[in-house]
Chain A
């Protein structure tokens, strides 16, 4: 006898149960279809692009002028622009994020941690146009006071602000890895007379290393894919340079620049953004996979 009508079984309920099973499977399949959709889009249009432009030119020419004559399709300036901004961001975010994680995990009392963590989470939740605004209207003018050669659009302030933006990503993933290190390891080291920094740097850090490296990789991959901040603050000049004071264009900023106009479907111009998008996707995809691999391969099990 059933006491609760919610759990009363009959033919209809059995059929319903079977149907929902399949519906839920289809829902899960949507995510797989998304990946297939992304790959097919990028590949199909990129193939269209490479029938007109040789892969050799794409990867060796150092000029990217797909809209202006004389046209040239060398993607290297976009890649170097992306890597320059990413490198600046990494120099800021990796050490600061790691030290923040050490502080939160090893030093901060519970009360302090409970205040600081949500504040850092706010940093991660702010839309990237806001960071772009901040870089362009605050950081750049103030840097120009110190560095007079700095252009209005430049890789330096975009990179610095992006660094601040990804601090919470580095710190929260690294902190998770450090918190997972068992107490007994710390207590063992303290019992041997180690100071707090020795415990942090010589015991906890090595034990959490795989998680920390994964955090670094994922944060860098995020920086490579970041779009609005660099579109606003780094400029729109494909520029093969390592000088952070100059204006550069990243892969993502180029895609936005072209998407702002409505170029005709199937045109070479339209296909360029998919060729660039494919490079972008493959770079971030490879880094994410590498991140997962590091975690699964080198995780210390306790």
Chain B
């Protein structure tokens, strides 16, 4: 009896304090999670609240204007769509090609290691640095003497392609890696050589994953303002680019332009522009998630 009491007295305070700490830390962890979620909720509410009154059909189909009531983002929206597809045209073949090389062909040697480390490192280079690369190489070095590139859509697309290339390579590698070896073995057993196996069996199975990664990379690309500003500078565009050699503007730059003006009306326009851009991104992400869920390779048991 006495002994039991002794143990109880000895243990209880400690247990109490440990339980208390447990509860306290649980609350701390939980509230940390809520910071991100509440932040997101407030941000979205703010944008919707300020932007919805400015959303209208003419906002989507009119050109920018000094008068807020007449301003729209048609040229920026079209510029973004142009830039997105052109970037995809450059990035997808090169990114998938590099991924196939690294997964299927590359020998295990120093060079391969260097390429791999290089890709990982490029993913961490600030986007504005890509802007400097594009400005110096594409806009001026290949632009000025030949009048070839300059501050054009093509130069912008090439710059963004380099920016998102690491993302496409990494996503494509994951997709190719996820194709079970049995698929390859089966194709070899049918008499295929290496490229036929890749073309006929590996790539078709990896395609949904590659597509998902590409869409996500493009959604990163169309939200980027910094590198595109370095390429396009601040231009006032009141036309839709009709070919890749024209000057252009894109949604995030138009939004930035509106934010930089002190009048409240332009802030409203900026919020409306953000809604359009976020809607575009959300749609793309939804498509990506759909592909991922619809065509995901079921892992073999």
- Residues of A participating in the B interface, judged by any CB pair closer than 8 Å: 2-4, 6-9, 13-14, 16-17, 20-21, 23-32, 34-35, 37-38, 41-42, 44-45, 95-97, 99-100, 102-104, 107, 116, 119-120, 122-123, 125-134, 136-138, 164, 167-168, 171, 195-198, 200-201, 218, 221-222, 224-228, 231-232, 252, 255-256, 259-262, 265, 273-274, 277, 280-281, 284-285, 288-289, 292
Q: Which residue of B lies closest to A103 (CB)?
A: B29
* Pairwise interchain contact B106-A225, C-beta atoms closer than 8 A: no
* Pairwise interchain contact B33-A35, C-beta atoms closer than 8 A: no
In the assembly, what is the distance between CA of A136 and CA of B259, in Å? 9
* Pairwise interchain contact B135-A259, C-beta atoms closer than 8 A: yes
List, in ascending order, chain B residues with CB within 8 A of A225's CB. Answer: 125-129
Which residues of B86-145 are within 8 A (CB) of A? 93-98, 100-102, 105-106, 114-115, 117-122, 124-133, 135-137, 140, 144
Q: Which of the 9-residue segments B61-69, B205-213, B236-244, B270-278 touches chain A? A: B270-278
* Pairwise interchain contact A197-B190, C-beta atoms closer than 8 A: no
- Which residue of A34, A103, A232, A280 is within 8 Å of B162 (Cβ)? A34
* Pairwise interchain contact A35-B190, C-beta atoms closer than 8 A: no
* Pairwise interchain contact B40-A123, C-beta atoms closer than 8 A: yes
- Residues of B participating in the A interface, judged by any CB pair closer than 8 Å: 18-19, 21-22, 25-26, 28-30, 32-33, 35-37, 39-40, 42-43, 46-47, 50, 93-98, 100-102, 105-106, 114-115, 117-122, 124-133, 135-137, 140, 144, 162, 165-166, 169, 187, 190-197, 199-200, 219-220, 223-226, 229-230, 233-234, 252, 255-256, 259-260, 267, 270-271, 274, 277-278, 281, 285
Beyond A31-B98, A34-B122, A280-B129, whether A96 also contacts B196 by CB under 8 A is no
- Which residue of A9, A28, A277 is within 8 Å of B193 (Cβ)? A9
List, in ascending order, chain B residues with CB within 8 A of A99's CB. Answer: 28-29, 32-33
- Within the complex, what minimum Cβ distance (angstroms) separates A296 from chain B? 10
- A-B residue pairs in contact (CB < 8 Å), sample of 27: A23-B97, A25-B101, A25-B105, A27-B94, A27-B96, A27-B97, A30-B162, A32-B115, A32-B118, A42-B129, A95-B32, A96-B32, A102-B29, A116-B33, A116-B37, A125-B223, A126-B43, A127-B281, A128-B223, A133-B270, A133-B271, A137-B50, A167-B39, A277-B129, A281-B126, A284-B125, A292-B120
* Pairwise interchain contact A21-B195, C-beta atoms closer than 8 A: yes
Tally of A-B residue pairs with Cβ under 8 A?
277
Beyond A16-B195, A31-B165, A127-B277, whether A38 also contacts B115 by CB under 8 A is no
In the assembly, what is the distance between CA of A129 and CA of B267, in Å? 13
Q: Shortest 8 CB-CB distances between A and B: which pairs?
A: A225-B126, A127-B223, A27-B97, A99-B32, A7-B192, A24-B101, A17-B195, A227-B226
Main secondary structure of the interface of A (DSSP, over half): helix
* Pairwise interchain contact B162-A256, C-beta atoms closer than 8 A: no
- Within the complex, what minimum Cβ distance (angstroms) separates B154 from chain A? 16
- Within the complex, what minimum Cβ distance (angstroms) separates B174 from chain A? 14
- Which residue of A21, A26, A226 is within 8 Å of B126 (Cβ)? A226
* Pairwise interchain contact B126-A280, C-beta atoms closer than 8 A: yes
- Within the complex, what minimum Cβ distance (angstroms) separates A152 from chain B? 9
* Pairwise interchain contact A129-B255, C-beta atoms closer than 8 A: yes
* Pairwise interchain contact B136-A129, C-beta atoms closer than 8 A: no
- Within the complex, what minimum Cβ distance (angstroms) separates B284 from chain A? 10
* Pairwise interchain contact B133-A100, C-beta atoms closer than 8 A: no
* Pairwise interchain contact A134-B46, C-beta atoms closer than 8 A: yes
Beyond A34-B165, A125-B281, whether A134 also contacts B136 by CB under 8 A is no
* Pairwise interchain contact A255-B32, C-beta atoms closer than 8 A: no
List, in ascending order, chain B residues with CB within 8 A of A222's CB. Answer: 124
Beyond A227-B128, A252-B128, A281-B125, whether A96 also contacts B223 by CB under 8 A is no
* Pairwise interchain contact A30-B274, C-beta atoms closer than 8 A: no
